[in-house]
Structure 1
Amino acid sequence: MSAQHPARPVVAVKPITVPVPAPGRSVDLQVKVTAPLTGANLPVIVFSHGNAWSMDGYEPLVDRWAAAGFVVVQPTHLDSRRNGIGWDDPRFATIWRVRISDLHAVLDGLGGILAQAPGLADRADLDRVAVVGHSWGAQTAGTLLGARVLDADGTPGEDFTHPAVSAGALIAATGTGDSLTPFAVEHLPFMRPDYSTMTTPALVVAGGRDRSQLSTRGPEWFTDAYRLSPAPKSLLTVDEGEHTLGGLAGEKVAETTDEDPARVALVADAVSAYLLDALGLDASGWAAFEKAAQDGVGWDVTGK
């Protein structure tokens, strides 16, 4: 896959403020909308960022998705560093719930959000909607696909699925909570996903060199969302990928330890191809990925 930026022009509109009825949000929920300049019947991706990021991150992913024909909506969650809410802030313990509420608010108000981007509301297909997330955002997105959060006793929590969501992609998704480090147990007790109820079709993307400081397990921790969820699911494993898989959040950002634009393009294009297939629009791109994976090119695709 080429790392060159797609030539199809895209446009972004920000900030758009979204009404959020959920308690616990002390600042407005704002989103960024990115879309191709032309085209109709465009499917929609609602994207949940990783810890501390915002709607202004992940441009290498988002622009590539928009160039592939998607409308992408990016909320800024409460944990964004621009809001100054750290690990020890009393609000941090409930941010995982606020994140989920953010995605529901975006989905519930999607028509109104897109209406604020001139000419876009009539070009989007609101019957073909997917959720995608990276890192903490992947756990957030996973709840809308059917995953639940276990409490301290191992009891599954609420069902946060949303009827508008038909498919998803989880990039570097949190694994199960049985191997959390003491820091994670203290500060991130909600990091205990139960994937057994995640029935919505999804692509899980994992890096073969992704080692989290929050878990005592190795890279296989990030494949739990695939291994422990029911079919239909697909798993893309990127052999040399670390947690940012080449720099998903942006070029030369501090978190990127494995900078590789070609790897970012691979992940972006795999997600686009998978979702176009899962949303019933075009199966050829994902079929090509599955075929290419058989050639041993540094990444692998598995399905069930």
Structure 2
Amino acid sequence: MPTSLSTALDHLLGDSTPVVSVAPVQLEAPGRPLPLQVRVSAPATGTDLPVLLFSHGNGMHLDAYAPLVSFWASHGFVVVQPTHLDSRRNGIGFDHPVFPSIWSERTTDLVRVLDQLDTVEAALPGLSGRVDRSRIAAAGHSWGGQSVQSLLGARILDDAGQPGEDRREARITAGVLLAATGVAGDDLVPFAAEHFPFMRPSFAELTTPTLVVAGDQDQSRMSTRGPDWFTDAFTQSPGATDLLVLRGGEHGLGGISGYEAAETTDENPERVALVQRLTTAYLRSALGAGDDVWDQARAALPTGPDAPATLEHRIR
């Protein structure tokens, strides 16, 4: 049942629209070990639609995250979801020779999507001519958050502690990081330090306006730090404008990858509803000049010990 808060947020966002979707759509990817396939979802009607790239978490695929993707598309976004090489559908394990480069290839997948928006539009009947390519955002969950944050400006530190390649993407003007891992150091467990070089980010270069979403019960097996590890993109970057911390939220943030999914340890439809609505409000305002729905959504969020989340906002 919808809560009074979700009802209030629905009133701010307006009516939803039926969604159409097509998959798999194959994009050109020279040199990639496997074909690059994406799902394209969009509202059945409407024009001047912004684009939202979405990067999945470890092992997932283009058919996952329906609770988020369907909601975003129903409220006016063209959502494009690639299946990255780490998807369980591809069977690439830690001992595969391709695995060490997957973290970088993930970011390249997202750039390939941007470079082939003509193909993306043409793949979904009736979409061509309805997309506003001047308004592009990116969102990612978990490992997908790392993939996206590179396009927002974050860098990976090398063994000497120096920022590596700058992969900032000027076409992306807003971001959402969902349970994205934080800075490295002695807190990383040995397994993470060995297999995940991308877990050494520098957020000092992340300047793109970004909403960071974390759960206050998200205890990672990759780090000995507590749930605050997933807030580093906000506390250590000059670009992140907002931090949403979900009370009781674990890594699945209530089930954003899909209800009844094995990865969801904190299944909570109300929590998912909050993520759906607040991320939509944020992106609408971040991409649309003069749209104050994010200000209104922040004002609607209750405060106090019984509130479902806390929200920190700062003006950059």
TM over 0.5: same fold? yes
For the Cα contact (< 8 Å) 1:276–1:282, is it kept in 2? no
TM normalised by structure 2 equals 0.92
| Residue matched to 2:264 | 256
SS of equivalent residue, structure 1 residue 196: coil
1:236-261 deviation per Cα after TM superposition (whole angstroms, max 9, x unaligned): 11111100000011010001000011
For 2:171 and 2:239, the matched residues in 1 are separated by 20
Identify the match of residue 19 of structure 2 among 10, 16, 24: 10
| Residue matched to 1:130 | 137
For the Cα contact (< 8 Å) 2:254–2:268, is it kept in 1? yes
| Residue matched to 2:81 | 74
Question: What is the aligned length?
Answer: 302
For the Cα contact (< 8 Å) 1:44–1:71, is it kept in 2? yes
| Residue matched to 1:120 | 127
* Residue 306 of structure 2 corresponds to residue 299 of structure 1: no
Identify the match of residue 218 of structure 1 among 218, 223, 226: 226
1:90 positional shift? 1.9
* Residue 38 of structure 2 corresponds to residue 28 of structure 1: no
For 1:117 and 1:66, the matched residues in 2 are separated by 13
1:95-129 deviation per Cα after TM superposition (whole angstroms, max 9, x unaligned): 01110110000011112211111111211111100
State which drifts further: 215-224 or 105-114: 105-114
1:268 positional shift? 1.5
SS of equivalent residue, structure 1 residue 215: coil
Identify the match of residue 143 of structure 1 among 133, 139, 150: 150
SS of equivalent residue, structure 1 residue 20: coil
1:69 positional shift? 0.8
| Residue matched to 2:200 | 192
* Residue 59 of structure 2 corresponds to residue 49 of structure 1: no
1:50 positional shift? 0.2
Structure 2: 5+ residue stretches without partners: none
Matches within 5 A, 1:151-190: 151-178=158-185, 179-190=187-198
Matches within 5 A, 1:209-248: 209-248=217-256
For 2:82 and 2:281, the matched residues in 1 are separated by 23
1:282 positional shift? 5.7
For 1:149 and 1:289, the matched residues in 2 are separated by 33
1:144-163 deviation per Cα after TM superposition (whole angstroms, max 9, x unaligned): 00001111221111111112
For the Cα contact (< 8 Å) 1:151–1:190, is it kept in 2? no
SS of equivalent residue, structure 1 residue 197: coil
1:2 positional shift? 3.2
1:8 positional shift? 2.5
For the Cα contact (< 8 Å) 1:148–1:156, is it kept in 2? yes
| Residue matched to 1:277 | 285
For 1:28 and 1:199, the matched residues in 2 are separated by 32
For 1:78 and 1:302, the matched residues in 2 are separated by 35
* Residue 209 of structure 2 corresponds to residue 201 of structure 1: yes
For the Cα contact (< 8 Å) 1:44–1:125, is it kept in 2? yes
For 1:272 and 1:256, the matched residues in 2 are separated by 22
For the Cα contact (< 8 Å) 1:273–1:283, is it kept in 2? no
| Residue matched to 2:101 | 94
Alpha-carbon spacing, 1:134–1:224, altered in 2? closer, same or farther (3 Å) = same
SS of equivalent residue, structure 2 residue 6: coil
SS of equivalent residue, structure 1 residue 2: helix
For 1:283 and 1:208, the matched residues in 2 are separated by 30
For 1:116 and 1:186, the matched residues in 2 are separated by 40
For 2:277 and 2:174, the matched residues in 1 are separated by 16
For 2:52 and 2:283, the matched residues in 1 are separated by 9
State which drifts further: 36-45 or 231-240: 231-240
Q: Which amino acid aligns with 1:59?
A: A
SS of equivalent residue, structure 2 residue 89: helix
For 1:101 and 1:109, the matched residues in 2 are separated by 12
SS of equivalent residue, structure 1 residue 165: coil
For 2:169 and 2:279, the matched residues in 1 are separated by 20
1:88 positional shift? 1.9
